[in-house]
Structure 1
Amino acid sequence: MTQLKNTKPINLLLSLIYLAVVMALATELSVAFSVLLGFLCVWNLAITLTNKKKPHTILANILAGLCLLFLLYDVGLGDTVTLFVAMLILSSLFKLLQARNKKHYQTIVLLSFFSLSTVYLFSQSLLSTLLVSVLYILNFAALMLIESTHKIKLAVKQSTKMLALALPIAVFLVIFLPKLPAFWQLPGPKLAKTGLSESVNPFDIAKLSRSDELVFRAKFSNTNKPNAPYYWRAIIHDQFDGSTWLVSDFSKQQQRSQIADAPNAPLLSYSIIAEPSSQPWLYGLEQAYSNSENIKATQQGLLIRKRYLNNTINYAVTSANFSADALNISSRNQNLQVDNSALNNVQTRDLAYELYKTTNSDKVFFNKLSTYFLKQGFSYTLTPDPMTSSSAIDEFMFNKKRGFCGHYASAAAMMFRTVGIPARVVSGYLGGELNEQDNYLSIYQYDAHAWVEVYIENEGWQIFDATAVVSPERLTGSLSQIDSLSGEFTNNLNFSLLRFNQIPGFNWLRLNLENLDYTWTNWVLGFDQQKQSSLLKKLFGANQLWKIALFSLLVLISIFLSYFIYLNWPKNTKQNQHVMSHYFLEITTWCDKHGLKAKANITPLHYLSLAANEFPKKAAYFAEFASLYSKIRYKEDYFTSQDKKHGRDLVKLIKTNS
């Protein structure tokens, strides 16, 4: 097997690459397994930096087997994509622990290209792309070091240049290569993201306020932008078991069999860029509809992603008001169902009957319940006290009176149903943070919201949101922009740049990073067949395929011709000389000034021998320089920084007048 002379820099680069990959995937793996992978990276780094021997093959294989068993226990067989990604990284790290020859390192570098690509299975953001690009450069540099004795700096420089030369071709292919549908697709990973769920206890929805994960972005046209509030509907929960609101089997059947038609009189048109999600639910206002082939619009006005859950999706939406048509008997009965336990939430039921007695219509009760929440001392909080009793709604309505949106939605929906008014809980998102530069809204997990939709005769479904009267400032903007909740919001949030909004410059940095990511998502990740067709039509007109083909051919010829000229352009040989050759030229220049003329066809070592005889006081310096020169230039030993300094010092000693 071929042994390498520069294994230290190769080990260093590969260890750093895998450490960065483990950090990038840490949110998708368990904490325990991420720590294990991080330990293996640090172990490789420690062996490299301290010049210790690598572990024996038997020991490494035993550890690898134990780690594999732990991986199977930790991840399981349910999420095959995450399992295979974890196995790939684990095997690569153990292979690095045992690598000893050229073939081993070539195998690891090849595996590293696949390992780096796995990051895109979980995130395609601009930050992830920049990170992976840098790691690709380092991996190509490691490949160069396997085949040469260059230093890391030179290898990284050459690798960067190589990828920079490939960039124009990549851009050209993205723009002009036809966007063909996938012939086959791997199953996506189960994303480790927080979010809404079909089965949710609204008393737990406050947990989402701790996450600053981006959910989607929405952009309205300048001509029909609606006024706040923006209730982004995602899931309808129409079944209540006393504590949890669920999506009923009746509702699921409707969603599978009843596909909505485009609204006759849409009021709004807007576009949405939704982030990858573990759930198929998408987002829209009121009765939403989309003609995207990857989206299904239901009769309830919801949007559902048909496929590509693990990809960012860009879709156009039109929205109209809810229909005022009468409910059919099945839908009415489903939205009047309450839990069968007569012992649960008795006080709240009695309150609903009491308020309803003094009204003469469902609409009056609707307004009266809103007034009740306003005048009875209820307050809005991001950190509600836990309520775990079987009558949690009673505990909230009569004891705590402090809650998040889920508390109010659950209590109000049950009260409407108690008095015979059809109602359902809707979970989604409220508001959004406006980016004034590009005029779009960013909606995050902490904007998660729950409210009630109530059916009023001759008016259709109407939004009832007690938050509107308890905390009216919540209806405009994003949760992060409410001054009265800023301290509670910041303390409740996980680590984020939002925590440092009060520090000058941090909010500016956050907003500009957000704007860059929006541009990347919209114009790169969202560059689909429709956008490509629109761009080419603007450039070449309609039905001008021959122009596109001719232009593509000319561009490709120009690119390859430019590369040919660049690669064959005469180089400055002086710049490409080895450092030791520069030192040797300095010595010959000095000797020439002091009377030793260089003879034709004489080798550097012979010349240094003549110089030692000509200048006996410096003979030792000439001999030492000749030994160093022979080792580096002829024996091709690795040229270290110490060798470079030693050669520089010898030149100085030779040139010193003494």
Structure 2
Amino acid sequence: MSSTAPISSGTSWQQKLGSLPRDARDTLFLLAVIAWIMLPQAQHMPWWSSAFAAALLLWRARLALTGTALPGRWVLAGALVIAIAATWAAHKTIVGRDAGVTLVVMLLALKTLELRARRDAMVVFFLGFFVLLSNFFYSQSLPTAAAMVLGLMGLLTALVNAHMTAGKPPLMQALRTAAKLALWGAPVMVALFLFFPRMAPLWGVPADDLAGRSGLSENMRVGEVASLAMDDSVALRIRFDTPGEKEPPASTLYFRGPVLSQFDGRNWQADPVSDAMALPQLRVSGEPIRYQMLIEPSKRRWLTLLDAVKAEPQIPPGASVGRLRMTASLQWLSWRPITDVLRVDAQSYTEFSHGPLQPAPELKRYLQLPVGSNPRTLALGEQLRSQLGADASATALITAALQRLKTGGYTYTLEPGVVNTIHTADDFWFDSKQGFCEHIASAFAVLMRGMGVPARIVTGYQGGDRNRVDNYWTVRNSDAHAWTEVWIAGQGWTRVDPTAAVSPGRVGQFQRLIAPRGAIASAVGNFVDVSTLEKMRAIWEAVNNRWNQWVINYTQSRQLNLLQSLGFESPSWTDLLRLLAASLSTLALLWLIWARATRPQRDGWSQLMHSARLRLQRAGLEGGASISARSLASSAQSRWGADASSASFAAALSDWLLDMERLRYAAPNDNMPSELNALRQRWRQLQRQRWPQPLPHQA
């Protein structure tokens, strides 16, 4: 891959590319493949690294097109120093996942600037395969896998093309060879995937940055949960063990997240971790609902399970999240953040209560309010109390507050805005009278506390959409919800969803508020009806769910389950190794059988001539494949024709060799098989005769 002559500018780009010398064409193809496998990294690397890599690749492409000499070593050394220094400045290190990937991408882009010989190309291929694999550190989704398969085929094509030294072979020829190699290697890949023991998750590299993505949080500022309605990404998927009519009703699908109890007027905050160590007092009734849930990576430690889970959920052995525990507020936490798709098998009781049944000191903090905040809401609480009487129960106070929400002209909206005052409850009850679920829940909890009823906020998800393709319920970030729990004597903590009083359809019939569509979605919607788009999305999400189930979430437990289905009573990792060895051995044997069956076969004349050559070599004549039958006849006459004892044998052998040559080059006719059989008979007669002994120096 050396410099080439420049191309004239008077032709079109298509003609230019077609007339490029092989070195320039191969270099441009390799640069395009490298750019393709680098592209997904742009969203994870610093902006300067993507710009730097793109500039280097464009520079190398220009050098290939113009035939300009490659830069010298001092220029490359300076660029290397800049890349290392910038990586250090951005990540404060040059090791670790993010810093390492950034540096490897820079090295790959720099290496293309010294792409002179095949040795340099081999280094580029090696780095290219490594960068391709590093994409899976960040995402193992189906689109990422499909994009990397294309990148893999591109690198294999370039690798095969680099070994085709003669002429200017078309890239399609190299692609066909690469596809055959990939196809032949696919059974080995499947065997390794199925049976290679998995002692940990496939991509067990810890993330350098465990900051949570868009989603639920341990802190809620009134007005911020509404922003999640703009996020249509999947938060979790759930499939019930009894699908269809036996599935729980929509109004009971509450997925519990962080529980918030501390309020400063604007923000609600979760209980401290030390408080979460207390054991909950959970009371359940009815039959449990059994289900399997797939939780998308959130970089958080909480499991948003269906309320309420009593027994410890089951997760795959060796999962990266570690052990699970329940907090005093019924929230299940993992030991480490969820950074991969996590499969959870659990059972929930939708009829439950928890917490103390009688007044206890621990309930006092659920009555605390900031001094001087929301005076009008507190006055409203006093008014309701006076109307119902000093001895009014908590249930009566809750009913009165919900009745005010139903009849007071309050509305449920997606864009209520963030309230820039500590009197957030006053703003909702008396001024704006509109809000998203967290506005309503927060104002309701403040009113309850103002009337002496312990209350707190529970955040999570409510509802979802049932995918008719695979029977999984899909819960999105746009299904984020906030409700309240109030404490009632004799019952404990009880769920009260005040949003249902303002907008009953939000909870009972899944009448979601829809975020405004973007320009692309609006344009597509003008040509494709909504039902078709919904069906397409359902199919895509079902396929993506299968990918997560059978590929990403193929854990050690699933390997052992596979072995049990194959007849192993107590499978272990040693059984996996034995089965892997047997599979690879079987594949190797099948390949050898196929190679032997498909190897080129000699025709009858060639087999007969090969047998004659071997016998002549043992007799002392040179019988290599490059020597013709006529030359062999001449050599036999020269060696044995002068001796009276062997002259007749030499003449018969010479005549046979000449007849063999004559048959080989004769025009095709129907008598050729019979003539070949006659020559076989004559050869058998010659073999039964006494052959002259080879000379001493030839023995």
TM class, shorter-length: 0.7 to 0.9
Q: Give, in angstroms, the shift of residue 286 of structure 1.
A: 1.7
Residue 497 of structure 1 contacts residue 506 of structure 1 at CA under 8 Å; is this kept in 2?
A: no
1:219 counterpart letter in structure 2: R
- Deviations 1:261-291, CA, capped at 9 Å, x for gaps: 9979762211111112221111112222414
| Structure 1 residue aligned with 2:141 | 125
> Within 1, Cα distance between the matches of 2:525 and 2:138?
23
1:326 counterpart letter in structure 2: L
Q: Give, in angstroms, the shift of residue 522 of structure 1.
A: 1.2
Which moves more between the two structures, 178-187 or 157-166? 178-187
Taking a change above 3 Å as real, the CA distance of residues 234 and 114 of structure 1, as seen in their structure-2 partners, is: same
Residue 279 of structure 1 contacts residue 309 of structure 1 at CA under 8 Å; is this kept in 2?
A: yes
Using the size of structure 1 for normalisation, the TM-score is 0.76
| Structure 2 residue aligned with 1:616 | none
Q: Give, in angstroms, the shift of residue 311 of structure 1.
A: 1.5
Which moves more between the two structures, 1-10 or 165-174? 1-10
| Structure 2 residue aligned with 1:470 | 502
* Structure 1 residue ranges without an equivalent (≥5): 574-599, 602-658
> Within 2, Cα distance between the matches of 1:68 and 1:550?
45
> Within 2, Cα distance between the matches of 1:194 and 1:70?
28
| Structure 1 residue aligned with 2:162 | 146
| Structure 2 residue aligned with 1:322 | 353
- Given the alignment of the two structures, is residue 312 of structure 1 paired with residue 341 of structure 2, yes or no? yes
Which moves more between the two structures, 46-55 or 116-125? 46-55
Look up the SS of the partner of 2:292 in the other structure. Answer: strand
- Deviations 1:58-115, CA, capped at 9 Å, x for gaps: 4455455445555555555699422222222122212223433333222222111221
Among the aligned pairs, what percent are the same residue? 24
Taking a change above 3 Å as real, the CA distance of residues 559 and 74 of structure 1, as seen in their structure-2 partners, is: same
Residue 108 of structure 2 contacts residue 127 of structure 2 at CA under 8 Å; is this kept in 1?
A: yes
Q: Give, in angstroms, the shift of residue 38 of structure 1.
A: 4.2
1:533 counterpart letter in structure 2: L
Residue 222 of structure 2 contacts residue 424 of structure 2 at CA under 8 Å; is this kept in 1?
A: no
How do residues 29-178 of structure 1 correspond to structure 2 at under 5 angstroms? 29=45, 33-49=49-65, 51=67, 53-55=69-71, 57-66=73-82, 68-74=84-90, 80-149=96-165, 150-178=169-197
> Within 1, Cα distance between the matches of 2:288 and 2:409?
37
Taking a change above 3 Å as real, the CA distance of residues 155 and 322 of structure 1, as seen in their structure-2 partners, is: farther
| Structure 1 residue aligned with 2:266 | 243
- Deviations 1:490-519, CA, capped at 9 Å, x for gaps: 359999989987457433322211110111
How do residues 294-309 of structure 1 correspond to structure 2 at under 5 angstroms? 294=322, 295-307=324-336, 309=338
Structure whose CA Rg is larger: 2
1:374 counterpart letter in structure 2: K
Q: Give, in angstroms, the shift of residue 33 of structure 1.
A: 4.9
Look up the SS of the partner of 1:511 in the other structure. Answer: helix
| Structure 1 residue aligned with 2:644 | none
> Within 2, Cα distance between the matches of 1:502 and 1:113?
42
Look up the SS of the partner of 2:470 in the other structure. Answer: coil
Q: Give, in angstroms, the shift of residue 435 of structure 1.
A: 0.5
Residue 294 of structure 2 contacts residue 344 of structure 2 at CA under 8 Å; is this kept in 1?
A: yes
The count of aligned residue pairs is 566
Look up the SS of the partner of 1:193 in the other structure. Answer: coil
Residue 87 of structure 2 contacts residue 93 of structure 2 at CA under 8 Å; is this kept in 1?
A: no
How do residues 387-402 of structure 1 correspond to structure 2 at under 5 angstroms? 387-402=419-434
Q: Pick from 215, 220, 229 the counterpart of residue 209 of structure 1.
A: 229
Using the size of structure 2 for normalisation, the TM-score is 0.72
> Within 1, Cα distance between the matches of 2:437 and 2:527?
26
| Structure 2 residue aligned with 1:639 | none
Taking a change above 3 Å as real, the CA distance of residues 217 and 400 of structure 1, as seen in their structure-2 partners, is: same
Taking a change above 3 Å as real, the CA distance of residues 504 and 318 of structure 1, as seen in their structure-2 partners, is: closer
Q: Give, in angstroms, the shift of residue 382 of structure 1.
A: 1.8
Q: Give, in angstroms, the shift of residue 571 of structure 1.
A: 6.1
Q: Pick from 212, 220, 228 the counterpart of residue 200 of structure 1.
A: 220
- Deviations 1:147-194, CA, capped at 9 Å, x for gaps: 333432222222222222222222223333333247995422436731
1:139 counterpart letter in structure 2: L
Q: Give, in angstroms, the shift of residue 469 of structure 1.
A: 2.4
| Structure 2 residue aligned with 1:451 | 483
> Within 2, Cα distance between the matches of 1:262 and 1:100?
74
> Within 1, Cα distance between the matches of 2:383 and 2:46?
51
Taking a change above 3 Å as real, the CA distance of residues 9 and 493 of structure 1, as seen in their structure-2 partners, is: closer
| Structure 2 residue aligned with 1:234 | 257
| Structure 1 residue aligned with 2:239 | 219
> Within 1, Cα distance between the matches of 2:359 and 2:445?
19
- Given the alignment of the two structures, is residue 422 of structure 1 paired with residue 473 of structure 2, yes or no? no
> Within 2, Cα distance between the matches of 1:79 and 1:303?
34
> Within 2, Cα distance between the matches of 1:238 and 1:77?
39
